[in-house]
Structure 1
Amino acid sequence: MHTLGRILGIGTAALAVIALTACGSSDDSDDTTAATSPVQSTGAAASTAPAAKTGKECTAEDIGVTGDFGTAPKITIPDTCDPPTHLIVKDLSEGDGPAAESGQQLTMNYALVTWSDRQTLDSSFQRGEPFPLSLGAGQVIPGWDQGLIGVKEGSRRLLIVPPELGYGQGGNGVAPNETLVFVTDAVKVGN
């Protein structure tokens, strides 16, 4: 399996530096990256052209999600609408634990489907390793830092992240101008 690096935890500029460094390196060892990387590819990077524009932006209700909290979701993106141009946040099931605030520690499970090819790019569910982060500390993409505010422990939340709040020009397995669809489970909120 190809290691993508820390998709959620590294900004676009850092990804470019890492990509350039990796291209010039003759060291095939991947131990450091693999040990710290919560994200691994479950498929090849998308190289398909985006679907034809329909003139209608998708909403949270257009995205199909099956599965309950704690299980790997199945995410279905329709081809009858265009990717949204702004961050979409929707609780699919609301937990009864504390709500996340900026600066708090979170432990999240997630599945990521890329809009352009409608394939799972990464899943902590499949790895069996929830992802720890400090909310609002810039450790993750802006779509997560913004979209996870207020998530309650025990909640399943859908995030549709436009390119400017994700990876913009792409890198590390994410195609340029890619919209990202996450289903996240808030395993733990706070320490």
Structure 2
Amino acid sequence: MRKILIAMAPVVFLAACSSSGTDSTEAGIASSPAITSSDYVTNNCAVVGGAPTNSSVAPTSGATLDGVTVVTGKTPTVTIAPALGAATEVVTKTLIPGKGATLKATDVLTFNYCGVGLVTQSQFDSSWANGAPITYGLAELIPGWSVGMPGMKVGEQRLLILPGSQAYGSTPPSSDILPDESLAFVVELVSIQN
């Protein structure tokens, strides 16, 4: 697998040699708890490091999928529930519908994103916090993105929850991500270049 360093970001996206699985909006979380924190942790995608805040109470607004709650706006916030198990498949949820062109697996895209670990409950990277969207071919990104992003429309924001095998696997690109950690991404499709 080829590694590509994202400018201004500590995370490396891995090129997918192949990917399998189906796009789903239903639970893909294993039942065994993976963390010991009893708090919900909210990360602000506009701030480097997420400026996490803890709460013993679940969020009352936003869209929720498998224990991950996203409040959309100019810049989203991502809340991870306590003691989530590992994701077992790629699951997605449209947060804001798009109205533009539709993304295909062979396209080059410009996008904003925010990534948060389900175990660490910590934001490990955000293009919103880094100040600018980035551009890559969809096939150059981690495998779960090739599974969960085709069909997005320009302007859409989508939540992706990826098992470790569809993210960075046993060799994550930074110490901010645990080996085989399941990850949540909020992705905003800015444009498509063919």
TM-score (norm 1): 0.68
Runs of 4+ in structure 1 deviating by more than 3 angstroms, as ranges, are: none
Assess if the C-alpha contact under 8 Å between 1:100 and 1:190 holds in 2: no
How much has 1:79 moved relative to structure 2? Answer: 1.7
Deviations 1:27-52 (A, max 9, x none): xxxxxx6xx535237xxxxxxx9316
Larger Rg: 1
- One-letter amino acid matched to 1:111: C
Assess if the C-alpha contact under 8 Å between 2:34 and 2:85 holds in 1: no
Unaligned regions of 5+ residues in structure 1, if any?
Answer: 1-10, 19-32, 42-48, 53-58
Summarize the Cα distance change of 1:74–1:144 in structure 2 as closer, same or farther, 3 Å threshold. Answer: same
How much has 1:83 moved relative to structure 2? Answer: 3.1
How much has 1:61 moved relative to structure 2? Answer: 5.3
How much has 1:72 moved relative to structure 2? Answer: 2.4
Assess if the C-alpha contact under 8 Å between 2:164 and 2:181 holds in 1: yes
How much has 1:89 moved relative to structure 2? Answer: 1.1
Percent of aligned pairs sharing the same letter = 31
Summarize the Cα distance change of 1:160–1:105 in structure 2 as closer, same or farther, 3 Å threshold. Answer: same
Deviations 1:7-61 (A, max 9, x none): xxxx4xx56xx9xxxxxxxxxxxxxx6xx535237xxxxxxx9316xxxxxx725
Summarize the Cα distance change of 1:83–1:171 in structure 2 as closer, same or farther, 3 Å threshold. Answer: closer
- 2:68 is aligned with 1:63: yes
Greater helix content? 1
Q: How many residues align?
A: 144
Partner of 1:104: 107
- One-letter amino acid matched to 2:115: L
Greater shift, 71-80 or 59-68, is seen at 59-68
